[in-house]
Each structure stands twice: as C-alpha cells, then as structure tokens.
Amino acid sequence: MKRSILLLFTLLFSFVGKSQDLGLNSFQAPMNIPMYLAGNFGEIRGGHFHAGIDIKTQQKEGVEIVAAESGFISRINVSLYGYGKAIYITHPNGYTTVYAHLRTFGDQIETYIQNAQYSKKAFTTSVYPKPSELQVNKGDVIALSGNTGGSGGPHLHFEIRRTKDSTPVNPLLFNLDISDTRKPEIKRVALYPMNDTTLINGKADTLLVNAQYKNGKYILPQKLQARGVVSFGIEAIDKLNGSNNRCGAYSIELFVDEQSHYKHEMQAIPFDETRFINAHVDFYQWKKNRKRIQKSFLDPHNNLSIYQNIQLNGKVFFCDYGHELRYEVKDAYGNTSTIAFDIAVDTASPSTEKPECIHQWKYDQENVISDSGITVFIPKNSFYKNECIQFERDKRSITNAATPIYHIGSLYTGLHNYMSVTLDVQHLEPELQSKVYGASLNEKLKVIAPEGGKTQNGQVTFKTRSMGPYVGLLDTVLPSIQQINFQGSTTSLKQDSLIFKLKDEHSGIGTYEAYLNETWALLDFDKKTGLAVLIPNEKRMNLNATELTIIVRDAVGNERRKSFNLKP
C-alpha cells in the first residue's frame, strides 16, 4: 500500500514538473522574424500597466502571425479601441496567448468572425468558439500583423495569460528568443516629505534629483539632507538589444542602511489591479511632465500585488541620524544597475508651514458636489489617498459651449473609478438638449476628448475617470462622408475595395453602416484614420446590387447619408 502511494506521488510530481516545464519552455516566437521589442511587460502606460510585449514588425503590416503553441482559439475580438482585431488561443499547459492589433485573420478565422458580424449586423464584436471548432497547431499561421485598435504604429502585441483567472504573466519569463545584455538606465530619484513638518534640503517640497553616470556607476550630483519623514521614488527605463525603445524595469528594490526596505517585481498583474498604476507612480509628474517615477511607498488605496518586503510603508525617518540608501534596478534577464546616496540629518533649517487644505476629500468615502448647474458624484475608493480638491466655475467660455466650464479638481489628480457628472441644459430648446455632450478640457481650455452623455429631463449626464475642467458642448453639425479611391456618385463592386473617410469634429463618430440595395454589408472601420473599407465578397454580398448607401451618425445622433450608383 505504501509503495502504491509512493508511486502515485512520484507520478503526480513528475506530471506537475513536466507541466511546469512545458509552460515555461514550450512557446515559440509568434512571428518568424527576429524578436525586437518596442515595449515590455509592466511598462508604465496611461491608466494601466502594459500587459504584454510589443514586438516590432519591421515597420510594416502583413507579417505572418503564428500560434506560439498548439491549442484552440477561444476568443476572437474586433474593437475600434484597445487591442483592435485580436485572437486568443487556449493551450493545454494552463496558459492562453493573445495576439493583438492584427490586420486580418486567417481564412477559417475570418469566416467564423464574419458569420458573427453579419448575424449581429455590426463590425465590432467578440465571439467565443468552442474547443472543437477552431483548433490550431504550434506554428500555424493565424493572422497577419497590423495596426488596428489603439496601436500607435505597426507591431504585434503579444500576451501570455493564466487561463484559470486570465491574469497576464510576464512573457519574458518564458524563455522566448529575445536577447538582452543591456543594463537598465536610471534617470532620477525623487524625495517626498510625508508630513507637514518634514524638510528636504531646507524645503517642505518634493525634490527631484537627476542621476548622472560617471566612471561606470550612477550617482546623485548634489548633497542631500532631511529632517522628518521621507519616502522615495525612482525613474528608470530598460532598453533591449536591437532597439532603443524605452521599456520598463522588471524589479526595483530600495535598501536603507543595507536592509531591504521596499521591492516590487513585474511577474504578473491581474487586470482588476492594473489601474492602481495611478497610485504606483507619481501621478502629478507623469501627467504634468511625462516623468515615469515609480514610488517606493504605498498610498492607502493601492491594492497592487506586485510588492514585496515593504518596511514602514516605505517611510524613512530622519531624526537623530542620517541614512545610506541604495536602489537596485533589474531587468527580466538579470542585468542590474544601482545608485547609492547618503542623506544627512538637517539640524539647521528653520521650520516651514504648508498651505492649509480647505476642501479635503476622503478616499474611503463618497464625495458629492452640488452647485448651480452641476452635480458631481464620486464613488467611495475613487481616490488613492485623501486629496485636497478645488472646485470652481470658470468665468471664461469656449466655442459651442452650452454650459459653463467647471473645474472639478486637477488634471494631475488620479481617479480610480468613474465619477458621474450631470450638467443642467434646461435653458436650451428641447430639440437642442439632446445635442449636448460632455467634454474634458486641458489647462488652456482646449478639448481633450468628447465624453458623450445621456440627456434626460433637461440634464445631460456622462461618466469619466479623469479630474479637471469639463463643459457641455453643443453639436448640431452632421458628420461627413468622403469617397477616397473613386470619384463622383458612381462606382463598381468589381474593385478590390471601396474606401471612405468618415469624419466628425465634435462629439465623434457614433455608428456607421453600409447597405447594398437595403441589405446590410460589412464596413471595416479604423477609428484612428477614419477610414471605412467595404471589400466586395460574393459569398456575403449581392454583387449585382445597383445602389450603395453609407450612413454615419455622430455621438449625439446627427446623421449623414450618402448613396452611390453601382455599375455592372
């Protein structure tokens, strides 16, 4: 009996070991070209950590994408945003790979997704094939690379996720054929006063010190002294062989008097944690000055699981004596850079007082603004710490403004959850009230982005995850439709494609449709370029149709129709 149990455990652990080896070593490169990276896992992005690696496609589209391992296609997604056209492959080793920003799918996959698009009469869609429907072998061509969705240039975004919980895992831990012998680069160190009485070099303000590389090591070029409670942050980047793109560091560790005081590693980041990047970085420096400073201390509402060995929540006390500090920055291949610096105790500088915070909003409470013409509701745990928030109505106005401009806090304050903004538009004629949409503005009161909105009972309500200036804008202008690869009002379905430019300069493109003799036809739309492409397909379309109609509506319902005669 004991021998049987021992044999069972031996087989079990043998199987587990082989499964783990398979998971780490079985994936091949998703393209048959050299692997040079434009971005890596955990890199700082707007509102999220980068969940995969961006692989260069030699500055072109149309590179063959292959399955990194055998499995079945478990999801096909087509979106105007984010990943654009994407394929998800579930593998028997416990992982799922993701291939994003694709230009076109393989024939069988394309047929599958088009069935769904024609069924739903929609270009954007997501389908989840059964395990038996779209099986692939390792190395099979599944798509061609592209630039769809939120991509800023041709490349492949590649992810490896744990299938059981869809958590992205760092692909650089899976022995892919990527070369990296370059050490991370340290840009600067930040020092933060953590209470009202703390001084750093005689001032009660955050201090940024640019690093210098001299004689084979990084140094801080100025003397430092402090009194009180100080926390730290660091900006560091990594570059891999064959590329000068700024990537992120894999791990950052802070030592105080040779004892580990703070550490994080970019092994895996669940999607429900990724927006806590707003608490992980110095949000003000990121948004204001584009500096990617990663803090070595935790805000009260920071639920990231990347941290290890946090001592005193990252705080360092300067009372009776100074401290020796050292940062150690590593990439995923073990290349390491360090910077060491001493901070003495300041015993001479006079105390200073910080301005009093008049309106402090608690991060762990609901916060509501109700003023003439506006109501703002901010849910509990939308901030990462208590914030000193200013609210005011701007005396200035801008073109097409249907409401006053309201300053809801600062552009440089991070927001985790959506806040709801309701603007009063009862002063407008009823037919115009539905044409108002919310818009976010920058410091110069230029529109950053339309936020949309829903109008009801003389009020327009929209949701947003950014603080700053907001206004309700009136949009009565119809979107435009322009033919690109033919002229006049007559064309033919014998062309390889018919291309149109869809444009709306106000509330933005809402919906778009194409009809051949009143029968819906698929339009492939790229929101970045505004190009809509109709590709004649004899299996899907009536190529003997005599009329093509394009219909475009903006976000507030203004509609433009344009019809073209079709010659045989």
| Tokens of residue 510, six digits | 């809402």
Question: Under 8 Å CB-to-CB from 226, ≥6 apart: which residues?
Answer: 191, 198, 199, 200, 201, 318, 343, 344, 345, 346
Question: Can you tell me the mean pLDDT for 205-228?
Answer: 96
| 323/187 Cα distance (integer angstroms) | 22
Question: Under 8 Å CB-to-CB from 71, ≥6 apart: which residues?
Answer: 89, 90, 91, 92, 96, 97, 135, 136
DSSP 381: T
SS3 category, 72: strand
436: pLDDT strictly greater than 80? yes
How much is the mean pLDDT over the chain?
A: 94
Residue carrying the six token digits 């818009």: 439
pLDDT at 5: 36
DSSP 281: B
213: pLDDT strictly greater than 90? yes
pLDDT at 356: 77
In angstroms, the first-to-last Cα distance of the chain is 82
13: pLDDT strictly greater than 70? no
pLDDT at 24: 67
What are the pLDDT digits (tens) for 109-125?
A: 999 999 999 999 999 99
Angle at 406 between CA 405 and CA 410, to 5 degrees: 125
pLDDT band at 537 (very low <50, low <70, confident <90, very high): very high
The pTM assigned to this predicted structure is: 0.93
Say which range, 210-219, 289-298, 344-353, has the weakest mean pLDDT: 344-353
pLDDT band at 358 (very low <50, low <70, confident <90, very high): confident
What are the pLDDT digits (tens) for 127-145?
A: 999 999 999 999 999 999 9
| 415/378 Cα distance (integer angstroms) | 9
23: pLDDT strictly greater than 70? no
pLDDT at 16: 35
| 75/93 Cα distance (integer angstroms) | 17
32 residue type, one letter: N
pLDDT band at 107 (very low <50, low <70, confident <90, very high): very high
pLDDT band at 351 (very low <50, low <70, confident <90, very high): confident
